[in-house]
Amino acid sequence: MVPTLNVWIVHAGEPIAGIDPGARDHRYGLLSRELARRGHQVVWWNSTFQHLARRHRFHTDKRIEVSRGLVLQLLHCQPGYRRNVALSRWFHHRALAARFTSLVAGAARPDVIVASVPTPELCEAAVGAGRALGVPVVVDVQDPWPDIYLSVVPPIARPAVRGLLAREFRRVAGALGAASGLTAVSDTYLRWGASRAEGRAALPAEVFPLGYDPDVSDPPDEGARPPIAFRTRFGIPDGARLVAFSGSFGQSYDLDTIAACAAEMRRAGRSDIQFVIAGDGDRMERMRRRSDGLPNLTLTGWLDQRSLAELMAHATVGLCRTPGTPRSRCPTRPSSTWRPACRRCRRSAASSRR
């Protein structure tokens, strides 16, 4: 019989099903619920600030008993932030880490802590708590922070930006080096994390890809065509093959290449292919400008759980185009195939493989 564990999951930024309107469980929500279902006691440390909506869920610390064995501990701090890349976000992360550190002293001791990168500050605080309490900490890599910031500046400026972010690079290296184990969403991210683990020649490591709960996400019949209502709602031509992307419109994804690919398809007269980009974020206005005059490029905004499942189940191609940094995050289940859709995407895919 597997002993019952007290598990802390330390991650802020993910939508919370049942609290955020229309939200579904993502990586840590799924992990939290599955651990609780198996009889473990779970505390998920998150934030009162909703990253995607850029607003506070609550205006004080909030402890919510989600289900038997699962507690959601929301940490409140100011300020919030309005952009992914902003000084206010850095201040927010530092304040959140400080709030976490101030509350853990009075919390029941865990048996294990799972902390994520990002964010470096909260991850560092979680590793510090594990060290102080004498419990193992597993660091899970979702994004290679702070490397991502190097992808938004010209190559000539990257050495200077790296110098400005030296403290953040040391913060991540220290947290990874002090971890008891390492997990990641892909092999590339795992190698990145292992290479940044300061002072560790070897670290127990494993890849756990992104996933979703099919019980709440799958449409009833995957063999059926997408509902006419879905196509009509967004002006998608009936019979067009769907090339789909879903995600945040921030620095993590190279959406400009997708728009350029749609433009190339348009010039080639390929009216049988429709690019559908689901999501929102800092770059939405930029993508609206890029899509102007491209009837084969549809921006849906955030889709509800059902609509997203229908889109991804019936798409011919799923796209996952990331900037030229050590990144690799592929779709969990967008369609039966994943292949480049035009010459520009083929060049991007070849570059990614190299």
Domain count, the chain: 2
- Residue 121 resides in a domain: yes
Q: Are residues 174 and 50 part of one domain?
A: yes
Q: Are residues 321 and 238 part of one domain?
A: yes
Rg of the chain taking only CA atoms, in angstroms:
21
pLDDT in tens, 224-238: 444 566 777 888 888
Q: Are residues 66 and 201 part of one domain?
A: yes
Q: Are residues 225 and 110 part of one domain?
A: no
* Strand bridging mode 70-75 / 62-67: antiparallel
What residues contact residue 167 under an 8 Å CB cut-off, 6+ apart? none
Q: Are residues 201 and 224 part of one domain?
A: no
pLDDT of residue 197: 82
State the number of CA atoms in the 13 A half-sphere of 354 facing the CB.
Answer: 7
- Residue 1 resides in a domain: no
* pTM score: 0.75
Q: What is the rounded CA–CA span in Å between residue 338 and residue 331?
A: 9
Q: What is the rounded CA–CA span in Å between residue 348 and residue 329?
A: 14
Out of 164, 187, 207, a domain closes at 207
- Residue 126 resides in a domain: yes
In total, the chain counts a number of residues equal to: 354
Q: What is the CATH number of the domain that holds 130?
A: 3.40.50.2000
Question: Which 3-state string (H, E, C) describes 284-308?
Answer: HHHHHHHHCCCCCEEEEECCCHHHH
Calculate ∠ Cα 33-36-40, nearest 5°. Answer: 150
Minimal CA–CA distance to 81: which of 61, 101, 52?
A: 52
Q: Are residues 31 and 13 part of one domain?
A: yes
pLDDT of residue 141: 92
Q: Are residues 172 and 67 part of one domain?
A: yes
Where do the DSSP E strands lie in the chain?
Answer: 6-10, 41-47, 49-50, 55-56, 62-67, 70-75, 112-117, 137-141, 181-184, 205-207, 241-246, 273-278, 297-301, 317-318
Out of 176, 207, 238, a domain closes at 207
pLDDT of residue 250: 67
Structural domain that includes position 271: 215-353
Q: Are residues 262 and 124 part of one domain?
A: no
Q: What is the rounded CA–CA span in Å between residue 119 and residue 7?
A: 19
Q: What is the rounded CA–CA span in Å between residue 210 and residue 171?
A: 25
pLDDT of residue 321: 57
Q: Are residues 96 and 56 part of one domain?
A: yes
pLDDT in tens, 247-306: 777 666 778 888 888 899 888 888 888 999 888 877 788 888 888 888 989 988 888 777
Out of 184, 207, 230, a domain closes at 207
- Residue 292 resides in a domain: yes
Q: Are residues 108 and 52 part of one domain?
A: yes
- Residue 151 resides in a domain: yes
Q: Which residues of the chain have pLDDT under 70?
A: 1-2, 198-201, 212-229, 250-252, 320-354
Token representation of residue 84: 């992914």
Minimal CA–CA distance to 153: which of 14, 270, 325, 316?
A: 325
Q: Are residues 297 and 173 part of one domain?
A: no
- Residue 261 resides in a domain: yes
Q: Are residues 229 and 198 part of one domain?
A: no
